[in-house]
Amino acid sequence: MEKIVSLCKRRGFVFQSSEIYGGINGFWDYGPLGAELKRNVKELWWQSMTRLREDVVGLEATIIMAPEIWRASGHVDTFADLMRECPLTKKRVRTDQVEPRSGMAYRFTGAEVAGAEGRVEKPFAVLVEKGGHPESARKKAREFFLESLPAAQGDLARVTLLGEQTVAVENSIDFHPDSSVELGPSRPFNLMLQTWVGPIQSDENVAYLRPETAQAIFAQFKNVLETSRQKLPFGIGQIGKAFRNEVTPRNFTFRSREFEQMELEFFIKPDEVVEAIAGSVNTQPVEGHPGEPQADWGWQRWHQYWVEERVRFYEGIGLSRSTLGFHHQTPEELAHYARATTDILYKFPFSKADATGAVKGDELEGIAARSDFDLSQHERFSGKPMGVFDEELRTGWTKLAPEKQADLSKRYYEARLRYLTKAGLPTEKAEKEAREDADGLAKGQYIPHVIEPSAGVDRLILALIANAYSEVTDTDAKGKSETRVVMRFHPRVAPIKVGVFPLLKNKPELVAKAREVQQLLKSEFNCFYDESGAIGRRYARQDEAGTPFCVTVDFDTLGEKPELLDTVTLRHRDDSRQERIAIRDLVGWLRERVR
Ligand code: GAP
């Protein structure tokens, strides 16, 4: 990771935000190469998820939305991490991220100011690891108690510690990783960043910076449905910024406080509706990709389809299956409304090995089957209907045998009742509403279910950078070796697609021709023109930027060998192979490889 972080800064992929002021934790800027890489990734996602599909449309919503959205989604009440605070430094850590430590705990019951009126009684403990000095624990304790002892007048020497005891501790997760002070109790800490909208900073004007892009899609579901001429199943995709006040941002850009998401909400018919229309519902899992979508697919098939589609996407930009991992959330990990969630992981350099030594990876994207929870919540909170009318269901329903109608209606009723009861409705009201919902099937009405593939742009950029990073050692004729970095990006995501060089910069004919080639390519491919330094150095600079191809204009291009007139040397980054290609063929040749 250290090498990657240093390369990112050195070559302008990623910089620390506000670096000249010492930086701001959890915020990162993308430099010239990083900005291109990010743009390419987002373009490819948008292209494959919306434009190349007939069943997905796009949305670009605001970052700040009505705060009711976050109450309906559950973020105001439950989007929290459990945190523990160091009573001395006030620094917080996530309860689940405290590493076990062993040593001697120095415990104190309080402190007083000798000879003056001042005494405080509260427990305080500091861990001293092997080789550590007990005096450091006592100093921290004095600092802690000093605040509550005005009689000490800010002088540590006047604080006398009380009730010192030492206790051996083994693998304890109760001490702060930096201060070693015993942590306070776990408390929930909401991760949403807040602001105020309007001129008055009052509670009524509090608004949130969105912690995910998904909710805007649910809130705009009906508008999109009505204006896009889509019918279920169909999806709405969105790329945009999200903000979370992560307590411990870490692993470079992996866990940031400002980041970007690429999210799709793919709306499907509930299984009861599929069965009513198609006669049966296909719930069987298959090996690998389940193929083209079919009318009888239930939610499991759709979930599997999207997991496999997303893996194909990653493979298509250079992350092979062997670099990825999968985590199928256990029933204990699943949100109460979710039916299944599969996380696609990438094996980052910081990913930990399990007890067997296998590296599973860390999350790039989660694909969740979220039932009809989100639309139902917005229906309840906004009072606006979120259901759809489905002509196929209305006509299909009339053709069903009465027993089948009763069976499907009962199953739909039970599912709705489960949701409404969980949502806190009194039993009678919940039963009445669930009955109305079930009766809606006969009229062709229901609330769509959703499959949500939700990916992080920044994590993907980090994965692509880690995946591309390689070192090669060149040895010159005199036996001198030099190790340099080659970023082996897939040409589709590479920030610069082609470097264009004149062999020599002091030959105007070569420079003019190279500029002509650059002109020819630059409207379609991100080009980098470079005429300074030896040609080998220029190749090396492009290798480090991850440029997959370089073309060099030389004397043969100008016709020194007549048969090579208007051809250039094309050099491949990954194996340094060189070939000759006609300038007129360049655009087509590159297009085939970078698209
Ligand atoms: N709408 C569902 C949702 O937001 P999530 O698992 O919380 O689900 C989805 O986030 C993706 O967003 C993650 O898989 C990850 O790639 C990215 N992400 C989440 N928190 C992040 C953070 N603090 N920094 C960078 N990326 C993050």
Nearest to 237 by CA among 42, 446, 66: 42
| Pocket residue to mutate for ligand 1, from 75, 238, 246, 259, most atoms within 8 A of Cβ | 259
| Pocket residue to mutate for ligand 1, from 193, 261, 265, 313, most atoms within 8 A of Cβ | 261
Helices assigned H by DSSP within 205-321: 214-219, 221-228, 271-278, 299-316
For the Cβ of 455 lying below 6 angstroms from any atom of ligand 1, the answer is yes
Report the alpha-carbon distance of residue 324 to residue 342 in Å, rounded: 12
Report the alpha-carbon distance of residue 485 to residue 540 in Å, rounded: 8
For the Cβ of 365 lying below 6 angstroms from any atom of ligand 1, the answer is yes
Residues near 302 by beta carbon (within 8 Å), at least 6 away in sequence: 233, 266, 268, 293, 369, 451
Report the alpha-carbon distance of residue 81 to residue 93 in Å, rounded: 10
Which stretches of the chain score pLDDT less than 50?
none
Report pLDDT for 118: 86
Strands (E), 303-356: 324-328, 340-346
Residue 302 buriedness (CB in 10 A; 0-12 / 13-18 / 19+): buried
No. of helices (H) and no. of strands (E), the chain = 17, 27
Dihedral angle, C-alpha 363, 367, 370, 376, nearest 10 °: 90
For the Cβ of 456 lying below 6 angstroms from any atom of ligand 1, the answer is yes
Q: Whose CA is nearest to atom 4 of ligand 1?
A: 212
- Between CA 561 and CA 571, with CA 566 as vertex, the angle to 5 degrees is 90
For the Cβ of 57 lying below 6 angstroms from any atom of ligand 1, the answer is no
Look up residue 462 and give its two tokens: 């980090």
Q: How far is the CA of 433 from the centre of ligand 1 (A)?
A: 34
What backbone torsions phi and psi does residue 337 show, to the nearest 5 degrees?
Answer: -90, -15
Count Cα atoms within 13 angstroms, Cβ side, for 391. 1
The 10 Å Cβ neighbour count of residue 204 is 9
The 10 Å Cβ neighbour count of residue 478 is 5
Report pLDDT for 230: 96
Look up residue 332 and give its two tokens: 């204990």
For the Cβ of 261 lying below 6 angstroms from any atom of ligand 1, the answer is yes
Q: How far is the CA of 453 from the centre of ligand 1 (A)?
A: 11
Helix 391-398 / helix 271-278 crossing angle, nearest 10 deg: 60
Sheet with 578-582, strands from edge to edge, namely 527-529, 498-502, 549-553, 567-572, 578-582
Q: Whose CA is nearest to atom 15 of ligand 1?
A: 456
Sheet with 258-268, strands from edge to edge, namely 56-58, 234-243, 258-268, 449-456, 362-369, 340-346, 324-328
Report the alpha-carbon distance of residue 27 to residue 187 in Å, rounded: 25
Q: Whose CA is nearest to atom 21 of ligand 1?
A: 255
- Between CA 513 and CA 521, with CA 519 as vertex, the angle to 5 degrees is 110
Report the alpha-carbon distance of residue 341 to residue 48 in Å, rounded: 22
Q: Whose CA is nearest to atom 6 of ligand 1?
A: 366
What backbone torsions phi and psi does residue 484 show, to the nearest 5 degrees?
Answer: -135, 165
Report the alpha-carbon distance of residue 546 to residue 540 in Å, rounded: 10
Q: How far is the CA of 256 from the centre of ligand 1 (A)?
A: 10
